[in-house]
Structure 1
Amino acid sequence: MSKIILITGASRGIGRETARLAGQRGWRVGVNYTADEAAARSCVELVKQAGGEAIAVRSDVSSEMDVLAMFDVIQERFGGLDGLVNNAGITGASLQLADMPADRMKRMFDVNVFGAFLCAREAARRMSTTRGGRGGVIVNVSSIAARLGSPNEYIDYAASKGAIDTMTIGLAKELGPQGVRVNVVRPGLTLTDIHASGGDPDRANRLGVTTPMGRAGEPAEIAAGIIWLLSDEASYASGAILDISGAR
């Protein structure tokens, strides 16, 4: 049966590649985006060309009202939900904590933590077998920064991803008896435009050469791990933290 997957932050980078690979499996995909409608529509076409079905859904994950509406759209259009990829996230310019304005830190945690919790909550409500769902999978997208700490760059981002790791461990135990698996993928340096949004567009290439594998990762390499965790092939994987970081 074709799976129904919602991917937050799906209009670019890892989310976009995950959507494309989901399309290759014939899955139905909700492509969430916040602002770039053209990129989201392009992603929808990518999924369709790959063999799946997709719709674009605009939503700011840090808004409870937006999140509720997004999940309702998926329910109305596709008739259910089998998986959530909690991928939406932001970063900021490289700064020491002593130089970070409070509004930057608040926005970081609003999107990366509160947004992920809201989406995970709604997925749990809809997929839990004890609440009338048919079970499912949540894959959270964290970062190897949660382990490294990102000193002198963005420890607020790293800390927000640490929260996602902890949420994954607890939620996997909470939802295991309810037919829902929960796992987390921690990408390393990956060639996406999140670095440009933080003011350092060449960061992945510049630091990638210092990794044991000597390069940055490609979005598709991270997406492949996410798709595996969503699939029935990973049926006994829950509470797992999967590092895809080139041994960094």
Structure 2
Amino acid sequence: MAKVALVTGGSRGIGAAACRLLARDGWDVAVNYRADAPAAEAVVADVTAAGRRAIAIQGDVGDEADVIRMFETAERALGPLTGLVNSAGVIGPKGRVDALTVEAVEALLRTNVIGSILTCREAVKRMSTKHGGQGGAIVNVSSGSAYIGNPGTGVLYAISKGAVNSLHIGLSQEVGGEGIRVNAVSPGMTATDMVTEEAIRRSMSAIPMGRVGEPEEIAEAIAWLMSDRASYVAGANIRVSGGRP
């Protein structure tokens, strides 16, 4: 089976690390980004330096037309897709639930939830043997926030990742017999540009290993789930959190 993956949010953080490790493992990679073209092109350069093909594709995962265009562009450039990593996401407003606005809720859920649904939908349409595809693997990047709720600081983000968890559980059962393995990774506190020093400081005492994770450590779990080494793994959600429940 050809190894061609689309990585959403591939220009930064965990997504960028996933692109590089997938290239290491023999994947050609479509690097999706929303705004930072130079960062996406830098990831493309790293993938090609590893001997694989790559393309940067601008698009907002919360926009249906953009998502369809992203998949069509990736397949024209690299061939039929057999992998999807959903790493695009936003944290959204901080604070309590009683301070949330409808506008803030809709904006975050559009990226984190609707975006994940749209990209999974388009991947299944192309990868499922039911639709004439070769099969493949999908990994949704969730978050440990779904387990702890983020009270007072980010309940909305936690809600969105809880929805992603439900998506991967249900979808894995829908398409497991159609050649597609669907799994998730739930990172703990990770050193990316989405995380503030204050957030790291507040969380440190709850991490048994006493440190935050690096994007590459999360991406190693993603790369494993995308690989044939995980050929009998479906519906799993791997917690990569330094021992934090």
- Same fold? TM cut 0.5: yes
Percent identity of the aligned residues? 47
Residue 198 of structure 2 is aligned to residue 163 of structure 1 = no
- Tell me the CA shift for residue 247 of structure 1: 1.4
Counterpart selection for 2:212 from 216, 225, 228: 216
In the TM superposition, what whole-angstrom CA distance separates every residue of 1:156-181 from its partner, at most 9, and x where no partner exists? 10000000101111100000111100
Runs of 4+ in 1 over 4 A off after TM superposition: none
Which residue number in structure 1 is paired with residue 42 of structure 2? Answer: 42
Which residue number in structure 2 is paired with residue 134 of structure 1? Answer: 134
In the TM superposition, what whole-angstrom CA distance separates every residue of 1:49-93 from its partner, at most 9, and x where no partner exists? 233221000010000000000000111111100100011000124
Aligned to 1:95, the other structure's residue is in SS state: coil
Report the more deviating stretch, 40-49 or 56-65.
Answer: 40-49
- Tell me the CA shift for residue 130 of structure 1: 1.0
- Kindly indicate whether the alpha-carbon contact (under 8 Å) linking 1:11 and 1:33 is maintained by their aligned counterparts in 2: yes
Q: CA RMSD in A?
A: 1.2
Question: What runs of 5+ residues in structure 2 fail to find an aligned partner?
Answer: none
Which residue number in structure 2 is paired with residue 117 of structure 1? Answer: 117
Give 1:179's aligned amino acid. G
Residue 153 of structure 2 is aligned to residue 153 of structure 1 = yes
- Tell me the CA shift for residue 201 of structure 1: 4.0
Which residue number in structure 1 is paired with residue 74 of structure 2? Answer: 74
In the TM superposition, what whole-angstrom CA distance separates every residue of 1:126-159 from its partner, at most 9, and x where no partner exists? 0000101000011000000000001001111000
Which residue number in structure 1 is paired with residue 175 of structure 2? Answer: 175
Give 1:16's aligned amino acid. A
In the TM superposition, what whole-angstrom CA distance separates every residue of 1:202-246 from its partner, at most 9, and x where no partner exists? 423552353101000000000000000000000000000110011
Distance 1:61 1:14, change over 3 A: same
1:130 and 1:244 mapped to 2: Cα distance? 33
2:52 and 2:40 mapped to 1: Cα distance? 15
Report the more deviating stretch, 223-232 or 93-102.
Answer: 93-102
1:230 and 1:27 mapped to 2: Cα distance? 10
Q: How many equivalent residue pairs?
A: 244
Aligned to 2:92, the other structure's residue is in SS state: coil
- Kindly indicate whether the alpha-carbon contact (under 8 Å) linking 1:185 and 1:242 is maintained by their aligned counterparts in 2: yes
- Kindly indicate whether the alpha-carbon contact (under 8 Å) linking 1:129 and 1:135 is maintained by their aligned counterparts in 2: yes
Aligned to 2:206, the other structure's residue is in SS state: coil
1:212 and 1:32 mapped to 2: Cα distance? 34
- Kindly indicate whether the alpha-carbon contact (under 8 Å) linking 1:190 and 1:218 is maintained by their aligned counterparts in 2: yes
- Kindly indicate whether the alpha-carbon contact (under 8 Å) linking 1:209 and 1:215 is maintained by their aligned counterparts in 2: no
Aligned to 1:55, the other structure's residue is in SS state: strand
Report the more deviating stretch, 19-28 or 154-163.
Answer: 19-28
- Kindly indicate whether the alpha-carbon contact (under 8 Å) linking 2:2 and 2:82 is maintained by their aligned counterparts in 1: no
- Kindly indicate whether the alpha-carbon contact (under 8 Å) linking 2:53 and 2:78 is maintained by their aligned counterparts in 1: no
- Kindly indicate whether the alpha-carbon contact (under 8 Å) linking 1:205 and 1:216 is maintained by their aligned counterparts in 2: no
- Tell me the CA shift for residue 114 of structure 1: 0.2
Taking structure 2 as the reference length, the TM-score comes to 0.96
Which residue number in structure 1 is paired with residue 223 of structure 2? Answer: 227
Report the more deviating stretch, 93-102 or 150-159.
Answer: 93-102
